[in-house]
Chain A
Amino acid sequence: MIYDALIGPFTEFEFMRRALAAVIALSFAGAPIGVFLMLRRMSLVGDAMAHAILPGAAVGFLLSGLNLFAMTAGGLIAGFAVAILAGLVARSTGLKEDASLATFYLASLALGVTIVSIKGTNIDLLHVLFGNILAMDDQTLLVVAFNATVTLLVLAVIYRPLVIESVDPLFLRTVSRAGGPAHLAFLALVVINLVNGFQALGTLLAVGLMILPAGIARFWSRDLTVMICIAVVAATVSGYAGLVLSFQTRVPSGPAIILVASALYMVSVLFGRVGGVVRQLFPGRHLEA
Chain B
Amino acid sequence: MAGLHFHNVTLGYDRHPAVHHLNGEVAPGALLAVIGPNGAGKSTLLRGIVGILKPLDGSIHLGGLDSRDIAYLPQSAEIDRSFPISVLDFVGTGLWRGTGLFGGIGKAAREKILRAVASVGLNGFENRPIGTLSGGQMQRVLFARVLLQDARLIVLDEPFNAIDSKTTVDLLALVKHWHGEGRTVLAALHDMEMVRNHFSETLVLARGPVAWGPTAEVLTPENLIVAMRMCEAFDDSAAACSADDARSRAA
Contact = CB atoms under 8 A, between A and B. Distances in A.
Interface in A140-167: 157, 160-161, 163-164, 166-167
Interface string B72-101: 101000111001111000100100110011
A200 B90 CA distance: 38
Nearest to A169: B78
A170 B101 contact: no
B85 A171 contact: no
Interface in B119-140: 129-131
Contacts of B93: 164, 168, 171
Contact of B96 (A39, A176, A221, A224): A176
Given A166-B80, A168-B79, A169-B78, A224 B85 contact: yes
Interface residues of A, number: 22
B148 to A, nearest CB: 11
Contacts, number: 58
A86 B23 CA distance: 41
B74 A170 contact: yes
A223 interface: yes
B52 A161 contact: no
- Chain B interface category by residue count: 20 to 34
A125 B83 CA distance: 39
A174 B67 contact: yes
A174 B51 contact: yes
A39 B67 contact: no
A160 B84 contact: no
Given A160-B102, A168-B79, A174 B85 contact: no
B129 A222 contact: yes
Contacts of A157: 101-102
Contacts of A161: 101
19 contacts: A157-B102, A163-B83, A166-B83, A167-B80, A167-B85, A167-B90, A168-B79, A168-B80, A168-B90, A168-B93, A170-B74, A171-B145, A174-B67, A175-B96, A175-B149, A221-B84, A222-B84, A224-B83, A227-B84
Interface of A: 39, 157, 160-161, 163-164, 166-171, 173-176, 178, 221-224, 227
The 7 closest A-B pairs by CB, nearest first: A167-B83, A175-B96, A174-B72, A224-B84, A170-B78, A168-B79, A222-B129
